Structure 1
Amino acid sequence: MARANLLLSADLERAFADAQSGKLRYVKVSIDDESFVLSAVGAAAEPRADVEQLVTTHLDAQQASFVLLCVDTNVAALRWVLLAFVPESVSVRDRMLYSSSRDSLKKQLGLNYFAGEFHATELSEVTWESFLEARKKQAADAPLSESERLLKEAAKLERDTNVKSSAMGVVPFEITQNVRDKLRLLQDNKFDWIAMKLSEDNESVEVVKSLESVELIDVPATLDRRSPSFVAYRYRAPGATSLIFMYVCPEDSPVRLKMVYSTCKATVLAVANEELNIKFDHTVSSVSSCL
């Protein structure tokens, strides 16, 4: 089955970043118009009661959705279980869409945040015990491969930086003044394309390319396919424009570099959103050798 490659809405990206504070038990996600969108959130209180509230208040026995639920909100590095709730009564298209897009959702939010997943077709299957069992099952999987061990190390590096979106107290990466200036020009319609990369010491974000005009058809040729980068792009459609933030990473990039960029993404977005008041309509993460 082909895997759906949907966009991640800016509201969902911000909500999931804010959820790392431990104040939320779950984040509900729906698919709307080829995008993952925020549907609902639930505050963290008593775990079993939180799941019961999710079922009675936010799940519809006739509608598919995803739920990201935090099993333990009292630890520094939160881990989430992904529920794909897909009732038998939904259309074949929706069943295929939700089934094929799970990996895309996890990759765009960050694979290392997830500690398990399960599938349910009826409300009665969505219980606190189901989430616990999903986490237990993943923990009992086969021994880690070499690449998985590297990912685990990189995940620890990511957690140690304590990136919490706009709620963070210390920004672990410096955003240079040139980046701020160019993003403001993007906001003022002076540029369509701002490409950014980490410096050689991986401590600051710098502008590497800025273009006044880039047509959608030219995006693949404009992207740097050799090393990871961030791109702020203004897509100009007839009668409207959209601001898109892209994290692009070649598949063969070193695992550690991938994770450093994945961590840094939250810092760049926080500066854009909170300091510069730039609200991206979509965020796209592509870990691939081609687009």
Structure 2
Amino acid sequence: MSHQTGITANEDLLDFFSTCRNGSVRVFRITIQDGTEALQLGEWHPAHGSWEDDYDPLVLPLLKEKQPCYLLFRLDSEAHGGYEWVLISWSPDDSPVREKMLYASTKATLRKEFGATQIRDEIFGTVHEDVSLDGLHRHRKSASAPVPLTLREEEIQEIKKQEVGVDIGVDSKHQTMAGISFPLVTEALDAVQEFTKGNLQYVQLMIDTSAEEVQLAGTQRTLAVTGLPGHIPDSEARYHLYRYDHNYEGDFFHSVLFIYSMPGYACPIKERMLYSSSKNPITHLLENGLNLAISKKLEIGEGTELTEEYLLDEIHPKRNLHRPKFAKPKGPANRGAKRLTRPPKDSPGNGDS
């Protein structure tokens, strides 16, 4: 909530407001007059060229060090029966705190007295870069950008887009985002079968979102663990099959790993959703349709996570053989000696009749 200062425009500034809207004025400066503490007119300049040509040459020289001020700059566009304007609030970091607070609290009054409907953009700056022409363009780009959404909000928005135009009837197939099944192309199926036979040590699969099918992205006949991170894309999601041949506690293992790599927000929301929703149907096909025994399913964000230590911990989790015994909690301190409760002699069951 803003607090108004009670400062208003003086008569000269109000008269200038009524005359500057005819198009002859390009920019003018407004300050708060000392003593009377009223909004007063400062320097002003007429238009020379287009508004973009006039902006930096006319605006930047009006900005003084250690002196907050307002600038009103006229655009060439019109709306609501008059020209549109840009309100610039200039407040250098090294200016007195009282003045910065005074100008911040008076801006709402200035907008009201000039006419808020004529102000198209409002920008605030402490250095020239904030209020230059480039700064104004950055402000407009930021203002027109969509509101940031959480991952959950993005997913809901994408689901709503997918639902538009969908015909639902008695004979329509029910398909939810929890499991989308895309077919594997012949090349990908052949590679998985070669992997199952042991002829390949690594297979990479990708979803073609336009063709809605799972395609082969690459294979390796042999691949050491140290070379595995180099095959994980930095900006695209992928599925990976890797046979981790290793010794552990005197035994040799052929551990088949299914790795789902998703580099976070580097991927579009639609791609993230498709890969996440297709993971279970694809692993189901590999295990039940192609008889591939998957030892471990992993999800990673970056290839650097795939170290030998990490894989061993996932495949052979360490067991805690020395579990601490349950410690009975101690009773309250200084509670005194235990007392035995005996039934009184006259009570039933004490042996007397």
Query: What is the TM-score when the length of structure 1 is the normalising length?
Result: 0.44
Q: Which has the higher contact order (CA 8 A, sep 6+)?
A: 1
The structure that has the greater radius of gyration is 2
